[in-house]
Structure 1
């Protein structure tokens, strides 16, 4: 499906999701209108029937009164008036009986009325009383029939209202669910290109050689973003290759002249070419310290370049005691010169880690502690398990690191303000290498506060990757 733009896709999705809600609104409005009409008609019917039966009862009373008066007075005008009232009663009876399902009460009333019309001159008072009693009973039964009809229609109306409510509830649930499904479908149409862009960004972050292909359909803005991300990936690969080549060639090319400079300084220091005065010796010491610092920078650059070229860690079961012993052996001379006591507390016999990356972490942390820790003060190295993490703490005594500088020290070429014990100006790559090695093994490196030392570097690796 091809859409001109993300705006069109969003608007169309919004409109499609509104269709079920519009149908629901129309259905609700239709149901309410129908119910209002039914309620109005039923109310009108009830009022009319109540009026009709009320009028019939009043006329029936007048008919009974006139019949009794005629029975006593025998006046012709009373007979004519009685016949007129009976005719009105029959008209009302016809209107009422037209709506009744059961015609028996109507027939009973009509029979009594016809009897009175055919027998106007009733001499027997007992027969008259009996016929009038039957007449009243027939009118009462008719009234009851009308009341039953009204009650039945009210029940039917209530059942209809309940059925409409139930239908409305079901239709609301179905249409709301359908609208929700349309919203989910529309959101997938919008989010799927975004998810693909996220995958492309993730592949770029992993420095993958092959990226997901550019979409053939979808919003044009997101397709343009995919084109730009592919271009960016190509550009980053070019820059990455250039950076690796520059670091590799520059580092190796600097080794040769540096070795010649160091050899020359060594010959001058040993007075092979002749004796030196005090000023010359001072200049020579500066040259020696500068060559040592330059050599350290080149080694760290080579180490950093080698770390950057490593695609992913290679996990091996590593003997932690053997690894720590090897690191302390390599740093034994610096430990002896600074008169540091190294306290080791290893509570993990072995770990599944990349031994080369973990060795770099240990080397740089120990070197950092020796370079910045107080001379003659102990250095504490601890390795233990905490929850689902392997934790390495390397702590030393000395000047505390301010909170605002702690995070930046793990960035490349960032150095602290503290002066090193070996008087060499560092490159700012040591802690950056530690952080990168920990990150490659899905861990973290940071500076924490402990109660037994002034500075503590902590490296935490997840147990899922470091299960022994």
Structure 2
């Protein structure tokens, strides 16, 4: 299954991640509306109950005033006012009791009202005072019931708000988690193909391993880039085959006529075909020198071709003392006029023996060719951090900084003349760089206080290869 375009995937993932947040916003709006409705209902209830209680208080005051007036005046007009005050009190009590359910004070007030309805027959002032005091106590008790009812409603409202808050917190946590998971899922659909592209680029750069198959579940733009990288890998492989074949065939074809020329020069120099005059001997000397120079170029070309074909180095523990001894032995004639200083501070190194020997050969050859005649060459092998360092330093003309960057490119030669009669191929330092790269290391020109030119090769040891 192929995903849509990168833009569609990005927009779709963004919209999909917004769905839980929209649901959370919708739920929050509903809860806010419920809270507003609840607050409105409770506010109306409190206002209504407080208003009814105030009406009851006012009716109780009016009733007490008219009863006391009737106790003094006792005429029909005051009696009618008292009956009217009683009805108002009863109406206010009924309204309040219907609002406050389950109040025991309502039945108490009913008994007290029944006693006061016979106010015409009450002649004792003390009895009337007792009835009125009892009525005042009942009204005070009703006021307490009103406060209690309001507190109960507020407590219920608070419980509802707490439950709603807990539900909101739980919903928020769940929906935000879902949104984050969707975001991670959407980003992973983009990150995985990008990681695969990085893996392909790394394989192309290191020229190691097979390319993974084309993705089927990725945005079409990234699949297009991956397809282009596969095409580039095939093209690079074709060019690599052409280059190695060209070097191999060219070097091989040059060997045959070169051998014939060398054999002819040997026959002439041994006077097999007759004695040579001094002019002919001089020409033969030049011809032999040119033949030897051409043979060196062919050998360098074959060596570089062999290095290009060696993609997988073989690492092992190598004795650096013996390797350096063998290397210096090969250059004994060139080094007999120079004071060579060798300082090896490690017992063994973990390298590819053939590649490391090529590094030593080419660096020593470079130091002999470009170092000052009669001046020492320093070679040091030591550990620094997680790497084994090889320093080969010589005295002579310093390398300009602007030429250091191109120094390790193939077929790049220095401008200064060599100390020997061999014309360089410009492959020596390139071979050093490629050998170091195959062993996961690198080479650089560094500044030291004891020499004018120092090449430093850093090779990571075996515990660092998997990092």
Tell me the TM-score normalized by structure 2.
0.90
Q: Measured at CA, do residues 58 and 466 of structure 1 come closer, stay the same or move farther in structure 2, by a change above 3 Å? A: closer
**C-alpha offsets along residues 392-427 of structure 1, whole Å, 9 cap, x if unaligned?**
111122233344433332232333444432264433
Q: Which moved more, 1:312-321 or 1:8-17?
A: 8-17
Q: Measured at CA, do residues 415 and 48 of structure 1 come closer, stay the same or move farther in structure 2, by a change above 3 Å? A: farther
The separation in 2 between residues aligned to 1:156 and 1:286, in whole angstroms, is: 115
Shift of 1:327: 0.6
The separation in 1 between residues aligned to 2:424 and 2:123, in whole angstroms, is: 141
Instruction: Name the counterpart of 2:428.
Output: 430
Q: Measured at CA, do residues 285 and 275 of structure 1 come closer, stay the same or move farther in structure 2, by a change above 3 Å? A: closer
Counterparts in 2 of 1:96-245, with a 5 A limit? 96-205=96-205, 207=207, 210-245=210-245
Instruction: Name the counterpart of 2:442.
Output: 444
**C-alpha offsets along residues 353-412 of structure 1, whole Å, 9 cap, x if unaligned?**
211001011111111222222222221111111222111111122233344433332232
**C-alpha offsets along residues 104-131 of structure 1, whole Å, 9 cap, x if unaligned?**
1122223222321233442111111111
Instruction: Name the counterpart of 2:33.
Output: 33
Counterparts in 2 of 1:23-102, with a 5 A limit? 23-102=23-102
The separation in 2 between residues aligned to 1:118 and 1:404, in whole angstroms, is: 124
- Secondary structure (helix, strand or coil) at the match of 1:197 reads helix
Shift of 1:7: 2.3
2:357 aligned residue (341, 356, 359): 359
Whether 1:456 and 2:459 are equivalent positions in the alignment is no
The separation in 1 between residues aligned to 2:187 and 2:24, in whole angstroms, is: 22
Shift of 1:205: 4.1
Unaligned runs of 5+ in 2: none
Q: Which moved more, 1:12-21 or 1:262-271?
A: 262-271
1:275 aligned residue (272, 278, 281): 278
- Secondary structure (helix, strand or coil) at the match of 1:410 reads coil
Instruction: Name the counterpart of 2:403.
Output: 405
The separation in 2 between residues aligned to 1:460 and 1:208, in whole angstroms, is: 21
Q: Which moved more, 1:59-68 or 1:263-272?
A: 263-272
The separation in 2 between residues aligned to 1:346 and 1:115, in whole angstroms, is: 123
The separation in 2 between residues aligned to 1:452 and 1:342, in whole angstroms, is: 14
Shift of 1:58: 2.2
Shift of 1:136: 0.9
- Secondary structure (helix, strand or coil) at the match of 1:385 reads strand
The separation in 1 between residues aligned to 2:463 and 2:266, in whole angstroms, is: 47
Q: Measured at CA, do residues 356 and 102 of structure 1 come closer, stay the same or move farther in structure 2, by a change above 3 Å? A: same
Instruction: Name the counterpart of 2:2.
Output: 2
Q: Which moved more, 1:164-173 or 1:220-229?
A: 220-229
Asked whether the equivalents of residues 381 and 395 of structure 1 are also in contact (C-alpha less than 8 Å), the reply is yes
Q: Which moved more, 1:205-214 or 1:66-75?
A: 205-214
Q: Which moved more, 1:218-227 or 1:131-140?
A: 218-227
Asked whether the equivalents of residues 362 and 429 of structure 2 are also in contact (C-alpha less than 8 Å), the reply is yes
2:348 aligned residue (347, 350, 353): 350
Instruction: Name the counterpart of 2:378.
Output: 380
Q: Which moved more, 1:94-103 or 1:27-36?
A: 94-103
Q: Measured at CA, do residues 328 and 126 of structure 1 come closer, stay the same or move farther in structure 2, by a change above 3 Å? A: same
Q: Measured at CA, do residues 309 and 465 of structure 1 come closer, stay the same or move farther in structure 2, by a change above 3 Å? A: farther
The separation in 1 between residues aligned to 2:202 and 2:375, in whole angstroms, is: 46
**RMSD of the alignment, in Å?**
2.7
Q: Measured at CA, do residues 125 and 393 of structure 1 come closer, stay the same or move farther in structure 2, by a change above 3 Å? A: same
Q: Measured at CA, do residues 419 and 134 of structure 1 come closer, stay the same or move farther in structure 2, by a change above 3 Å? A: farther
The separation in 2 between residues aligned to 1:265 and 1:92, in whole angstroms, is: 141
